[in-house]
Structure formats: C-alpha cells, structure tokens
C-alpha cells in the first residue's frame, strides 16, 4: 500500500516538473528573435576583412609547473597562505569518512575517524605549532602502490 501511495506522489511530482519545464520552454520560444530576412542577409561569398596587425588582445596566462606534492598541498590549503591548519585538513576528509562507512550504518563514529586524522596531523606537525608547512605536509603523502610484475 505504501509503495502505491509513494508511486502516485512521485508521479504527480514528475508531472508537475514536466508542466513547469514545458511552460518555461514556451516562454523562451516566445521571446526568440525573428528569423533573418533573406533579402537583408549579406552574401555568403563575402568574407569579413580585418588587418591582424591592428588586433591586440590580452596576453595568455602563464602556466606554472607544480609538482605532484605541491598540487596535493594546495588541495588542502584552502586560503593559499602556504600553511595547513587543522580545520583545513579536517574539512577535506569528510568524503573519506563516507567511503569508510561502506554499509551506511554509521558504526564508524566521526569522532573515531577524527581522532585518526588528528593523530596523523599531529604526527606530521614536527614543531608542534598546529600548522603544517609544505615540508611537514610532505610526510603525510600516501605510499605509492607497487606495480605488479608481469606473471607471463
């Protein structure tokens, strides 16, 4: 019985969304520009003429080559002050917590997970100032996985 009611409610919601989408699309088409008049369009053979020497534009941006460790550091350093605070490190770890809770029953408490992250942070913080420098953060890098040898 509950499934029937839920199906009916979802069907009504989808129908309502469809109606609003259809009305919104109709309003866009009402305001569309008129089709071009064939008599006033320029000939297709005529190409625009411009002197490239007179054209100037902005200089392209310069790309900096960041190492893999620098890219990893800047993923955590949200305010780009070249220091990672405890809050910056914890904020990016919430997705990792969701990945750890495979069955979704929340048996792994956030506090338990945060303790592991704080321990990792404090282990990397060599001078104990609660801020990671780039050199300290480099110690938290995951170990590279060994490629399996060919078993030919």
End-to-end Cα spacing for the chain: 59
For the whole prediction, is pTM greater than 0.85? no
Q: Could you count the other beta carbons within 10 Å of the beta carbon of residue 2?
A: 6
Q: For residues 122 and 108, what is the distance between their CA atoms, to the nearest angstrom?
A: 21
Residue 54 per-residue DSSP state: G
- CA torsion sign for 52, 53, 54, 59 is positive
> How large is the average pLDDT for residues 96-115?
68
Distance CA 21, CA 16 (A): 9
Instruction: Identify the weakest region by mean pLDDT among 1-5, 22-26, 63-67.
Output: 22-26
Please name each of the domains of the chain with its CATH number.
68-138 (1.10.238.10)
pLDDT in tens, 114-125: 777 888 889 999
Mean local confidence (pLDDT), 41-47: 63
């Amino acid at each position: 019985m509950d499934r029937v009611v839920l199906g009916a409610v979802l069907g009504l919601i989808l129908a309502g969304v469809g109606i609003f989408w259809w009305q919104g699309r109709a309003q866009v088409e009402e305001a569309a520009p008129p089709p071009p008049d064939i008599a006033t369009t320029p000939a297709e053979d005529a190409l625009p003429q411009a002197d490239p020497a007179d054209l100037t534009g902005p200089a392209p941006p310069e790309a900096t080559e960041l190492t893999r460790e620098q890219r990893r550091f800047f993923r955590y350093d949200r305010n780009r002050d070249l220091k990672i605070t405890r809050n910056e490190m914890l904020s990016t770890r919430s997705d990792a917590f969701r990945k750890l809770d495979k069955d979704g029953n929340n048996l792994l408490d956030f506090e338990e997970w945060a303790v592991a992250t704080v321990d990792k942070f404090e282990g990397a913080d060599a001078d104990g100032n609660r801020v990671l420098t780039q050199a300290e953060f480099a110690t938290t890098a995951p170990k590279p996985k060994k490629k399996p040898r060919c078993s030919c």
